[in-house]
Amino acid sequence: MKVVVVGATGVVGRKMIQVLEEHNFPLTRIYAVASEKSVGTKIPFKQSEIEVITPEEALLAKPDVALFSAGATASKRWAPKFAGAGTTVIDNSSAWRMEPQVPLVIPEINGNILKTSHRIIANPNCSTIQMLMAIAPLHQKFGIKRIVVSTYQSVSGSGKKGIEQLMNERNHKKGPKAYPHSIDLNVLPHAGDFTENGYTTEEEKLVNETRKILNDKDILISATAARVPVTGGHSESINLELKKPWAMEEVIFMLNQMPGLVVQDDPKNNVYPMPITAQEKDDVFVGRIRRDSSVKNGINLWVVADNLRKGAATNAVQIAEYLINQKLLGQ
Ligand SMILES: NC(=O)c1ccc[n+]([C@@H]2O[C@H](COP(=O)([O-])OP(=O)(O)OC[C@H]3O[C@@H](n4cnc5c(N)ncnc54)[C@H](OP(=O)(O)O)[C@@H]3O)[C@@H](O)[C@H]2O)c1
């Protein structure tokens, strides 16, 4: 299996290479691609290093799998070229997610929609992945009528430049800005770009991607996305209005059954999910599970995950592993 990571010098790309190594992914050769300015950069892999090459060079190698994390513009340009050469592309950007013919996949939830013929597969947005890991089992059992979600997103969600701005501010250094205001000691009610309707692109992704993955256009969703001065790990406050009455034991049972989801809920002992404890973990964590008596069948959850892992790199590698295990990789 020849694998190429496109965007290999970025925070997600580097994590993809790390996750491939940790998962002992069955590869015979790995290629690293980034923009022109990074060609020749060395990226550590196992006991060795991979040298960054151009997309054109990687294309000539006819890789079996391409993991893309190079942004939407690069993905729009290069993903069809790799797909045309027979490579199965798993893309982390927003370029293909809402294309009707492109599957948008969280393997534990809807891996079963994948087919051998799919040459471009989209990885959902980080905030969508962790929310759905916690709410999909409840949707299956009780049906979700309405979701109100507020995110507290880390600066690594904005890539290298987000971490750089936070660290520069902490060290009283000047540098390029990822955000229009200071992020250290601050909270920005602004993640992504503002759209005509007053919501941001990050908020719209939560709405549209949730409906596509759960294959349910009727779910009502209201999202607010905020950026917080945390280096890694997104947190989410999720309020659900379920269609059917629920009991706490059933909810805990369903959440415990979900692969890749860990219930961390012992508030009396100060046990609940936090970015600091979720960092570098492939799992998604759920806690603060409690009834919302202000609406019929209401429930509140607090969900945390490492946005670079299950929110991006881990989910992409798991899609590739799913394709291999189900013998779905294109011929
Ligand atoms: N960060 C997250 O939590 C997260 C989560 C889910 C999805 N994503 C998505 O993943 C993608 C990458 O995000 P990131 O956070 O890793 O950003 P990043 O740290 O800024 O990295 C961007 C990567 O893309 C490469 N790149 C840029 N233009 C390119 C081009 N024309 N051809 C080839 N490579 C190019 C960059 O190479 P150079 O180093 O040479 O510039 C770098 O390797 C984005 O689409 C983002 O929306 C991010």
Can you state the percent helix, strand and coil of the chain, rounding each to 5?
35, 25, 40
Mutate which of 4, 18, 35 for ligand 1? The one with the most ligand atoms within 8 Å of its CB, which is 35
For residues 120 and 131, state if they share a domain. Answer: no
Domain span including residue 82: 2-124+312-325
For residues 151 and 276, state if they share a domain. Answer: yes
- Total domains in the chain come to 2
Angle at 70 between CA 69 and CA 71, to 5 degrees: 100
pLDDT (0 to 100) of residue 68:
98
pLDDT (0 to 100) of residue 301:
98
d(Cα 144, Cα 165) in Å, to the nearest integer? 38
Place of tokens 């513009």: 73
Phi, psi of 168 (to 5 degrees): -60, -45
What b-and-e string marks burial along 177-195, b requiring 16 or more CB atoms within 10 Å of the CB?
ebbeeebeeeebeebbeee
Q: In Å, what is the CA distance from 294 to each residue of 8, 132, 135, 241, 290?
A: 47, 23, 19, 10, 12
For residues 149 and 232, state if they share a domain. Answer: yes
pLDDT (0 to 100) of residue 24:
96
Contact 9 CB / ligand 1 (< 6 Å)? yes
With respect to residue 330, please indicate whether it lies within any of the assigned structural domains: no
For residues 50 and 105, state if they share a domain. Answer: yes
Give one DSSP letter per residue of 121-143, joined into a string. Answer: EEPPPHHHHHHHHHHHHHHHHH-
Contact 128 CB / ligand 1 (< 6 Å)? no
pLDDT (0 to 100) of residue 330:
67
d(Cα 243, Cα 245) in Å, to the nearest integer? 7
Q: What is the CATH number of the domain that holds 89?
A: 3.40.50.720
Ligand 1 center–CA 206 separation, angstroms? 20
**Of 222, 236, 223, nearest in space to 154 by CA:** 236
Phi, psi of 235 (to 5 degrees): -115, 150
Can you list the residues of the chain whose pLDDT is less than 70?
330-331
For residues 109 and 207, state if they share a domain. Answer: no
Contact 153 CB / ligand 1 (< 6 Å)? no
Q: Whose CA is nearest to atom 34 of ligand 1?
A: 34
Ligand 1 center–CA 11 separation, angstroms? 7
Ligand 1 center–CA 147 separation, angstroms? 30
pLDDT (0 to 100) of residue 331:
58
Contact 34 CB / ligand 1 (< 6 Å)? yes
For residues 247 and 101, state if they share a domain. Answer: no
With respect to residue 297, please indicate whether it lies within any of the assigned structural domains: yes
Judge whether 126 counts as a catalytic residue. Answer: yes
For residues 230 and 186, state if they share a domain. Answer: yes
d(Cα 268, Cα 288) in Å, to the nearest integer? 11
For residues 141 and 99, state if they share a domain. Answer: no
The pTM is what?
0.98
With respect to residue 298, please indicate whether it lies within any of the assigned structural domains: yes
E strands present in 64-118: 65-68, 88-91
Ligand 1 center–CA 316 separation, angstroms? 14
| Structure token pair of residue 287 | 């806690």
For residues 6 and 119, state if they share a domain. Answer: yes
With respect to residue 331, please indicate whether it lies within any of the assigned structural domains: no
For residues 76 and 58, state if they share a domain. Answer: yes
What is the torsion angle, in degrees rounded to the nearest 10, for the CA atoms of residue 189, residue 195, residue 200 and residue 202?
Answer: -160
- pLDDT tens by residue, 258-295: 999 999 999 999 999 999 999 999 999 999 999 999 99
